[in-house]
Amino acid sequence: IGAVALAHLINDLIQSVLPSIYPMLKANYGLTFTQVGLITLTFQLTASLLQPWVGYHTDRHPKPWLLPAGTVCTLIGILMMSVVGTFPLILLAAGLIGIGSSTFHPEASRVARLASGGRFGLAQSTFQVGGNAGSAFGPLLAAAIIIPFGQGHVAWFGLFAVFALFVLYRISRWYANHLSLFKLKQGQAATHGLSKNR
């Protein structure tokens, strides 16, 4: 639970950096408020509205590999955001960061539940605290690292994504093994039930 809460902290920390740098992006590229709104729309469409679809699909077909794969999207998006020079590329980077979030949350929530040992409330609360802490620290780090030194320093947040990638790879391995054991137990139960009917 601690590992997935840490990954949630990092994920939401990176997500919260994007709105923190809106004033800088607006000043650097002469964006209108409408364009800033479109950045938010792109991010929210991919980060929030995509989540239920991902959750619906992975409820039927769990995908442990989505945890590190989503973080790769976040990493690419945050690195792009450090070097982009046009509005369409800003939108693309924001969309990639959002996709990383939407693929992370459903599967990570399932991992927290699987690792809870029956203490579902505690597990979900711990997982949520990680995300809330990340959302709180992200703007502070953006103010300390990006705003004084410029857009290129957004890339430093890629280090957080790389660390999260390592953590989530380990978690995805545990998750995949857990799913395999669960399917094996289901198969054994079905076999025993069949033999009893005979």
**Average predicted confidence (pLDDT) for the chain:** 90
> What pLDDT, on the 0 to 100 scale, is given for residue 178?
82
* Structure tokens belonging to residue 72: 């790769």
Burial letters 55-86, b for 16+ CB under 10 A, else e: eeebeeebbbbbbbbbbbbbbbbbbbbbebee
Residues (pLDDT < 70) of the chain are: 181-198
Q: pTM of the predicted model, to two decimals?
A: 0.86
Domain range annotation of the chain: 2-191
Phi, psi torsion values for 51, nearest 5 degrees = -60, -45
> What pLDDT, on the 0 to 100 scale, is given for residue 185?
59
Class in CATH terms, 2-191: mainly alpha
Q: pLDDT tens, 65-112? A: 999 999 999 999 999 999 998 999 999 999 999 999 999 999 999 999
Cβ atoms 93, 77 nearer than 8 A: yes
Structural element, H or E, at residue 116: none
Q: What are the residues whose beta carbons fall under 8 Å from the beta carbon of 34, sequence distance 6 or more?
A: none
> What pLDDT, on the 0 to 100 scale, is given for residue 91?
98
- Rounded Cα–Cα distance for residues 37 and 166 (Å): 33
